[in-house]
Amino acid sequence: MTLHPDVEKVLISQEEIESKCKELAKKISEDYAGKIPIVIGLLKGAVPFMAELMKHITCSIQIDFLDVSSYDGVKSTGKVHIRRDIVTDVLNRDVLFVEDIIDTGLTLSEVMKEFKSRGARSIEVVTLVDKPEGRTVSDVTPKYIGYYIPNKFVVGFGLDYNEIYRNLPYIGILKRSVYEK
């Protein structure tokens, strides 16, 4: 595998991500056995993770996608805005949000408040990556976490920098020179 020239180093390899997805899917399948959760991916970053994860979920699921924005470049703007809503009714349903990464937790905190008010029966979160040092809210505790990473800006496997690098098959640390230009 050739490393993208803008990437300083690989933090989580493709193989590690794939085996982690199997492990997370196993737990999710056990926890939701006999239920039909609505698995909601947060666009666009969660797409590769959701695709890899759902292949290994063995219980019945429905899927949908929500597009919210909070980031501009490498900094959280602190404002969450729904750009594209889901089309499924979540009233009395079990909702599982799929996130690529959680940093401040602000995005999910706002999204979870909204979905509670829509009457979801249960709301849980699966995230591929968690940056707990970045957390500024206390009400976001994902039930399923792939990896904990330090407070660095990462790209790849869905994660972008100004919409680029989402297609990298691994998660890597971007060279500072790329965003300090």
Q: Which residues are catalytic?
A: 103
Q: Are 28 and 96 in contact (CB under 8 A)?
A: yes
Q: Give me the least distance between CB of 45 and ligand 5GP, in Å please.
A: 4
Q: Which is nearer to ligand 5GP, 58 or 69 (CB)?
A: 69
Q: Give Cβ neighbours of residue 14 (< 8 Å, ≥ 6 apart).
A: 1, 157, 169, 170
Which residues lie near ligand 5GP (CB under 6 A)? 42, 45, 70-71, 76, 99-107, 153-155, 159-161
Q: Which is nearer to ligand 5GP, 57 or 128 (CB)?
A: 128
Q: Which is nearer to ligand 5GP, 37 or 41 (CB)?
A: 41
SS3 call for 144: strand
Q: Give me the least distance between CB of 111 and ligand 5GP, in Å please.
A: 9
Q: Give me the least distance between CB of 77 and ligand 5GP, in Å please.
A: 9
Separation between Cα atoms, residue 120 and residue 117, nearest integer Å: 8
